[in-house]
Amino acid sequence: MGDADVDQAPAASEADLHESSADSDKGLHTEGNCLGVISEGTCELVIDPDVALKACQEVLEKVKMMHTGVSTEEDDVHCSDHLEHMDIHDELVNGETCDTHKTEKSNVYTDGNSINSKLRHSKASAPSKIREEEEPLPGSCNTVKNVRRRQKNNSAKQSWLLRLFESKLFDISMAISYLYNSKEPGVQAYIGNRLFSFRNEEVDFYLPQLLNMYIHMDEDVGDAIKPYIVHRCRQSINFSLQCAWLLGAYSSDMHISTQRHSRGTKLRKVILSDELKPAQRKKDLPPIAPAPELGLSPSKRTHQRSKSDATVSISLSNNLKRTASNPKVENQDEPVRLAPQREFIKSLMGIGKRLATLPTKEQKTQRLISELSLLNHKLPARVWLPTAGFDHHVVRVPHTQAVVLNSKDKAPYLIYVEVLECENFETSNVPVRIPETRIRSTRSVENLPECGITHEQRASSFTTVPNYDNDDEAWSVDDIGELQVELPEVHTNSCDNISQFSVDSITSQESKEPVFIAAGDIRRRLSEQLAHTPTTFRRDPEDPSAVALKEPWQEKVRRIREGSPYGHLPNWRLLSVIVKCGDDLRQELLAFQVLKQLLAIWEQERVPLWIKPYKILVISSDSGMIEPVVNAVSIHQVKKQSQLSLLDYFLQEHGNYTTEAFLTAQRNFVQSCAGYCLVCYLLQVKDRHNGNILLDAEGHIIHIDFGFILSSSPRNLGFETSAFKLTSEFVDVMGGLDGDMFNYFKMLMLQGLIAARKHMEKVVQIVEIMQQGSQLPCFHGSSTIRNLKERFHMNMTEEQLQMLVDQMVDGSMRSITTKLYDGFQYLTNGIM
């Protein structure tokens, strides 16, 4: 601690200064979007913007002078870079507390320095607390000391760095960036330790980057990262598996001989061998501890269960196992920690592989359903979907709901998965299996929702017409009063029987009056009811997913819940996942990260652009899972099923031009369109045909399939030269070229681009690190990163940027290649 204290003393005072500089920065920024934060604040103190500005500028001057004096190293350039942007990080790190801080600090400038010291006190205590947490961590002591020592040696610039690192503004994005850029082992080691202080979710976002660095960069970086990874692996099965999968996937580009001995492969083996168990598990889980003695205590059984279930056998219900004893698994306590989940994933992938061998969609679908029904026998087990945002156990796969997705030679498929939410999937007990047959008790005849209208309603809802049919002949023989009511003779056997006779007949018997209905009404009702549900798609054996995806998610959940033996449980949830086998999802993951980052930037800068990053799970270099976008179908499917133009489809789905529903949908469309146009431009997303663009129920478009990004393009045909896909159909939905919405669209794009440019580093960093050691086609060539950076146009003024956007929009509109490409897709893949 001694070293650190010495360092900290001067640092603290300077940090103070810097904080004020940061704040002054904020003052400058208030010209832009951030102004909103302050003006929206609830404080009564009104800040005189002029005074604040002046104070800020003064501080800034000082900072700049210091910079020129000290910083020569690359690190420091970064450092200052970051300091300039610190306000933003501050906001990120502090989150909500940010506002109050700011108002407090504004006080400092307006009311003098009285609160300054107080502020300093609170600030300085924070980093040291973090350090206290760090110290006792295994293996970290030495390196921390090393870092300290080195830092002392070149104290001048290191102090800058250290102050940055220890300030609250230092966030995970910066940490990753320094880890990657810094050549100093000390700095790397320090950041490695610093990782422990970030929230798990923050680090998880950068897990692909961390692991890729671990695999492909030099020893020091690896050593710096490893303790953190190991620590997290011990904590969580999920993290262990994620690491193992990513390590496998990102090692795959290495030469086979080096791969075997690489650090990544070794770590992967260690993880998978399950050596990284929590050391003090027993202490952690006191309720489980007494279990072993009891042999058949619930926790014990679940453990056994999850193993046997996930491997081969279907566990027998106990009442049948009268004679057989089951000594095999009794004594093995731990080695199954990862096994059930791995088996689960493996069997899902196995299904995908086998499906790929079948020639027709129909066969694939049938096969999928029967495979899944077998899988069901092994559930529930201690398995989960890694794409979900909460802890749960998978209890059932409603196999008949699964669909095969459209793909020419592979067989990606979409499954729905019933799960039970739980506190912690590692420690909570695996739910007890409820046999499929149990549904019968919960959904017997009596409870079946009566969808048909009753006799009464029927009579009243039809306009009861006078018998004006002139042909009296038809009625003459009938003595209506005598009309006998036909009733089955025996109907008292059980309560089932009674319920079978719907209420209608009983009520109508009382009113002896014969009821007349018009045939025309029946016919009308029929066509009305059919017209009423135009939103369901026709079933098409060649496109089985269309119907399944079109069904509104809530409705699907309700339907599946009704049919599930687990549906009555309060913690029942429905998830869905696309299983991809034979596809490399690493690029998808990269795209997901970039999208997520862009979304965060736009949110932060308050640009109302809408994009939907969907979660990606990379399992190996040729398999993985995707979280499906719910309530969305591809534009191809929309057009094929509805046979309407996109605009007409909008009108059909949402209502007329002037309705609020339509206007909302249109706005959503524009905002998402602008968002994705930027994404497509920045990432150079190609292969944009209508099968790869989804339309959701609210009117948003969502681009999927990022198989061709950055430097790669499909078959190198040189098609799709325009910046992004903007067809005249899209423009029609926006209200045409002259409409307000189209201008709004361009304005959004400009704002989005400016915001993205401001945080370019954060975006580029994600891509740049992943390029390390990668053979992915998106990194083909040497100029990927340079080109990416260029697309942010750092050197342009806003006016120039605006022109650029206009140009790109015009270019895309006029672009024949887009149209050509659609035609090409139609010819080769039948996509409209």
Rounded Cα–Cα distance for residues 667 and 648 (Å): 16
576 near other proteins, rule: CB under 8 A: no
Q: Tell me how far, at minimum, the Cβ of 613 lies from other proteins, in Å.
A: 30
Q: Tell me how far, at minimum, the Cβ of 630 lies from other proteins, in Å.
A: 18
Question: Tokens representing 360?
Answer: 């027709």
Can you tell me which of 495, 518, 717, 737 binds other proteins, judged by CB under 8 A?
518
460 near other proteins, rule: CB under 8 A: no
Question: Tokens representing 5?
Answer: 């204290």
Place of tokens 């307000």: 740
Count Cβ atoms below 10 Å from residue 138 Cβ, excluding itself: 10
115 near other proteins, rule: CB under 8 A: no
Question: Tokens representing 659?
Answer: 């309705």
- Of residues 256 and 487, the one with the C-beta less far from other proteins: 487
Question: Tokens representing 49?
Answer: 């913007």
H or E segment and range at residue 49: helix 49-70
- Of residues 332 and 502, the one with the C-beta less far from other proteins: 502
458 near other proteins, rule: CB under 8 A: yes
Binding range to other proteins, per CB under 8 A, among 130-138, 512-520, 694-702, 749-757 = 512-520
358 near other proteins, rule: CB under 8 A: yes
451 near other proteins, rule: CB under 8 A: yes
374 near other proteins, rule: CB under 8 A: yes
Count Cβ atoms below 10 Å from residue 732 Cβ, excluding itself: 16
Can you tell me which of 459, 673, 801, 831 binds other proteins, judged by CB under 8 A?
459
Q: Tell me how far, at minimum, the Cβ of 576 lies from other proteins, in Å.
A: 14
Q: Helix, strand, or coil here: 645? A: coil
DSSP state of 170: -
114 near other proteins, rule: CB under 8 A: no
Rounded Cα–Cα distance for residues 773 and 775 (Å): 7
76 near other proteins, rule: CB under 8 A: no
Residue 396 zone, left/alpha/beta (φ > 0; ψ -120 to 50; rest): beta
Question: Tokens representing 756?
Answer: 């993205």
Can you tell me which of 287, 541, 570, 718 binds other proteins, judged by CB under 8 A?
541
Q: Helix, strand, or coil here: 831? A: coil
461 near other proteins, rule: CB under 8 A: no
535 near other proteins, rule: CB under 8 A: no
6 near other proteins, rule: CB under 8 A: no
743 near other proteins, rule: CB under 8 A: no
Can you tell me which of 3, 202, 333, 436 binds other proteins, judged by CB under 8 A?
436
φ, ψ for residue 383, nearest 5 deg = -130, 160
Q: Which residues on neighbouring strands pair with residue 617, listed in sequence order?
A: 625
Can you tell me which of 234, 281, 438, 573 binds other proteins, judged by CB under 8 A?
438
Pairing status of strand 413-421 against strand 392-396:
antiparallel
9 near other proteins, rule: CB under 8 A: no
816 near other proteins, rule: CB under 8 A: no
Can you tell me which of 525, 568, 596, 780 binds other proteins, judged by CB under 8 A?
525
Longest dimension (CA), the chain: 116
465 near other proteins, rule: CB under 8 A: yes
- Find out whether 131 and 147 touch, Cβ atoms under 8 Å: no
Pairing status of strand 403-404 against strand 413-421:
antiparallel
Q: Tell me how far, at minimum, the Cβ of 566 lies from other proteins, in Å.
A: 14
Q: Tell me how far, at minimum, the Cβ of 290 lies from other proteins, in Å.
A: 30
- Of residues 641 and 712, the one with the C-beta less far from other proteins: 641
- Of residues 363 and 775, the one with the C-beta less far from other proteins: 363
Residues in the chain: 832
51 near other proteins, rule: CB under 8 A: no
65 near other proteins, rule: CB under 8 A: no
604 near other proteins, rule: CB under 8 A: no
Can you tell me which of 9, 115, 515, 717 binds other proteins, judged by CB under 8 A?
515
476 near other proteins, rule: CB under 8 A: no
827 near other proteins, rule: CB under 8 A: no
522 near other proteins, rule: CB under 8 A: yes
The three-point CA angle 658-664-668 to 5° equals 135
Handedness of CA 67, 71, 74, 76 (dihedral sign): negative
Binding range to other proteins, per CB under 8 A, among 155-163, 448-456, 623-631, 727-735 = 448-456
Can you tell me which of 530, 570, 716, 827 binds other proteins, judged by CB under 8 A?
530
| Residue 362: CA count within 13 A, CB half-sphere | 4
- Of 287, 299, 300, 291, the residue nearest 326 (C-alpha): 300
377 near other proteins, rule: CB under 8 A: yes
346 near other proteins, rule: CB under 8 A: no
- Of residues 114 and 493, the one with the C-beta less far from other proteins: 493
Is it true that the peptide bond before 466 is cis, omega within 30 degrees of 0?
Answer: no
Q: In the range 383-402, which residues lie near other proteins by CB under 8 A?
A: 400-401
Q: Tell me how far, at minimum, the Cβ of 366 lies from other proteins, in Å.
A: 4
Q: Tell me how far, at minimum, the Cβ of 332 lies from other proteins, in Å.
A: 21
Can you tell me which of 44, 46, 261, 320 binds other proteins, judged by CB under 8 A?
320
Rounded Cα–Cα distance for residues 597 and 588 (Å): 14
Place of tokens 């053979």: 775
- Of residues 82 and 364, the one with the C-beta less far from other proteins: 364
Can you tell me which of 138, 290, 292, 514 binds other proteins, judged by CB under 8 A?
514
409 near other proteins, rule: CB under 8 A: no
The three-point CA angle 190-191-193 to 5° equals 70
Q: Tell me how far, at minimum, the Cβ of 508 lies from other proteins, in Å.
A: 6
- Of residues 253 and 504, the one with the C-beta less far from other proteins: 504
Can you tell me which of 199, 322, 408, 532 binds other proteins, judged by CB under 8 A?
322
Question: Tokens representing 166?
Answer: 């220890």
- Of residues 435 and 570, the one with the C-beta less far from other proteins: 435
Q: In the range 290-319, which residues lie near other proteins by CB under 8 A?
A: 312, 314, 316-317, 319
325 near other proteins, rule: CB under 8 A: no
Rounded Cα–Cα distance for residues 517 and 512 (Å): 15
Place of tokens 């190293």: 73
- Of 1, 2, 8, the residue nearest 155 (C-alpha): 8
Q: Helix, strand, or coil here: 139? A: coil
Number of residues that bind other proteins (CB under 8 A): 93
Q: What sections of 195-236 are H helices per DSSP?
A: 200-205, 207-216, 219-235
Rounded Cα–Cα distance for residues 755 and 747 (Å): 12
Distances (CA, A) of 390 to 227, 424, 482, 611, 771: 26, 9, 66, 22, 31
Question: Tokens representing 121?
Answer: 């006190």
493 near other proteins, rule: CB under 8 A: yes
- Of residues 637 and 722, the one with the C-beta less far from other proteins: 637
408 near other proteins, rule: CB under 8 A: no
Question: Tokens representing 640?
Answer: 């094929």
517 near other proteins, rule: CB under 8 A: yes
269 near other proteins, rule: CB under 8 A: no
End-to-end alpha carbon distance in the chain: 68
- Of residues 496 and 740, the one with the C-beta less far from other proteins: 496
Can you tell me which of 563, 582, 608, 739 binds other proteins, judged by CB under 8 A?
563
Can you tell me which of 126, 453, 737, 820 binds other proteins, judged by CB under 8 A?
453
534 near other proteins, rule: CB under 8 A: no
Q: Helix, strand, or coil here: 396? A: strand
- Of residues 519 and 827, the one with the C-beta less far from other proteins: 519
Rounded Cα–Cα distance for residues 580 and 588 (Å): 12
DSSP state of 422: -
